[in-house]
Chains A and B, each alone.
Chain A
């Protein structure tokens, strides 16, 4: 009886065929009164219209949060979310943070040691003792 490998479904390889941005939604919170939101207010007024037009895959929700520091919260398709406090930052600095959230995968941050990562179990397949020429003991 030959050993058969378990039949697996195709795994998604994002970007091989179509690319789906992992960030699906961004909450943008600001305060009308507080000075720490000055940069954020400027960002919403001047930079957000262009950024939102350039990234139609992402839903942007702008709402005030009185007496709180400004925050950008990114929601990802894996169900996770990332929040960045942008208090006292300039509009262009906030743009950097928003780009970071857009480009993030939503996964937890992990240390990457290997230069190559793969989702394949093995290129050569599963090893079997009953196959091949066998080994002389």
Chain B
């Protein structure tokens, strides 16, 4: 606040002592112009000013300003320059902002360009207008430019943005999700590890270890692992390559990875398992929720709460995930459904039924073609012939 009041007094003194033209010419004496913000580095005159040592000069100047006689221009100009320099130097140093640790690219504070009158190149010609000149620097759209956002600010989705739609791959990943959900429920007491395991994607070896365990329906029909030792084996495979996180540290965020096996491998695996494991029940809400979360992480499919209610078995879950691709045309969909094709009184055409098609249906098209060719008339189209003029005359349109 004190800095502002002092600047104000200096400005009033300057404006009263010199003409606006002289005031405008004042800063020209400086060899360079600060573009963004200037910072006074010299602090030698500041203590003097604070101790009223420079008071005499200011008082003399003010007295001159208040006198009725017009001041001599040159003297006023030189006095104004010196006063400005004094005040700029006398400004207290700006309070430094504390440095913020960030990976954002922050614009740098000060940039200097050579003044026009200080340019020595004789071929330099100042532009008359700004149109057509190249723009350099500036802060406009700074945050829209690539590279100015740090990697930590990038959005990392929990699941892959492109959903996996290959049926065999979905089958493999669903089995993996169900097995891991059962194991995660068993080892839920190890909070950090289970949270890390929930978000891990793992490599091929881990995937094959997990899906190698047999999944089956228990006595009550609920999904479980066939052998008790499978729980520990899967847990070991899941936690083998987890990153180490100290207590209190936030959990690392990693991007979802592509499935580590190919589609052909997935198909082979899916065929080898059969379909018994799909009968296993998923009525346990904890297992169902863990499965849904793992499926989102591995496949990108988000199962809504409403659909979750209707999922009671692994087969239900698979039928929610595996959907045939949407037909582009209605005819394709009708063919897939096959309801209309069975009815004897319904005909479905895949494309528009044209007048030519209608003639062909009743067997008249051959005759029409023959007769038109006999008369040397075009079979399709007008052949450049226009409507009869007589018709137009008869209708009264001249």
* Contact surface of A with B, Cβ cutoff 8 Å: 30, 32, 41, 44-45, 48-49, 52-53, 55-66
Given contacts A55-B345, A64-B330, 6 further A-B contacts (CB under 8 A): A32-B328, A32-B329, A60-B346, A61-B353, A63-B351, A65-B352
Instruction: Output the least CB separation between A82 and chain B (Å).
Output: 18
Contact with A along B321-345 (1 / 0, CB 8 A): 0000000111101100101100111
| Chain A residues with CB under 8 A of B349 | 61-64
Picked from A44, A58, A63, the residue with its CB within 8 Å of the CB of B345 is A58
**A45-B330, A63-B352, A66-B352 as given contacts; A52 in contact with B340, CB under 8 Å:** yes
Q: Is the CB of A45 within 8 A of B337?
A: yes
Q: Is the CB of B330 within 8 A of A56?
A: no
Q: Is the CB of B343 within 8 A of A52?
A: yes
Picked from A41, A55, A57, A61, the residue with its CB within 8 Å of the CB of B330 is A41
Instruction: Output the least CB separation between A35 and chain B (Å).
Output: 14
A60 to B343, CA, bound (A): 10
Number of contacting residues on B, CB 8 A? 20
Q: Is the CB of B353 within 8 A of A44?
A: no
| Chain B residues with CB under 8 A of A53 | 343
Interchain residue pairs with CB less than 8 A apart (29) = A32-B329, A41-B330, A44-B330, A44-B340, A45-B330, A49-B339, A52-B340, A52-B345, A52-B346, A53-B343, A56-B344, A56-B345, A59-B346, A59-B347, A60-B343, A60-B345, A60-B346, A60-B347, A61-B346, A61-B349, A62-B334, A62-B347, A62-B349, A63-B349, A63-B353, A64-B349, A64-B350, A64-B351, A65-B352
Instruction: Output the least CB separation between B224 and chain A (Å).
Output: 41
> Would you call B398 an interface residue if the criterion is a C-beta within 8 Å of the partner chain's C-beta atoms?
no
For the A-B complex, the count of residue pairs with Cβ-Cβ distances under 8 Å equals 58
> Would you call B24 an interface residue if the criterion is a C-beta within 8 Å of the partner chain's C-beta atoms?
no
| Chain A residues with CB under 8 A of B351 | 63-64
**Chain A residue nearest to B327 in the complex (CB):** A32
**A32-B330, A45-B330, A45-B334 as given contacts; A62 in contact with B352, CB under 8 Å:** no
**Chain A residue nearest to B338 in the complex (CB):** A49
> Would you call B362 an interface residue if the criterion is a C-beta within 8 Å of the partner chain's C-beta atoms?
no
Chain A CB within 10 Å, residue with most, of B328, B330, B350: B330
**A30-B330, A62-B349 as given contacts; A49 in contact with B340, CB under 8 Å:** yes
**Chain B residue nearest to A25 in the complex (CB):** B345
| Chain A residues with CB under 8 A of B346 | 48, 52, 59-62
| Chain B residues with CB under 8 A of A63 | 348-349, 351-353
Instruction: Output the least CB separation between B325 and chain A (Å).
Output: 16
**Chain B residue nearest to A27 in the complex (CB):** B353
Instruction: Output the least CB separation between B337 and chain A (Å).
Output: 7
The 10 closest A-B pairs by CB, nearest first: A63-B349, A49-B339, A60-B346, A63-B353, A62-B348, A52-B346, A61-B347, A52-B343, A32-B329, A41-B330
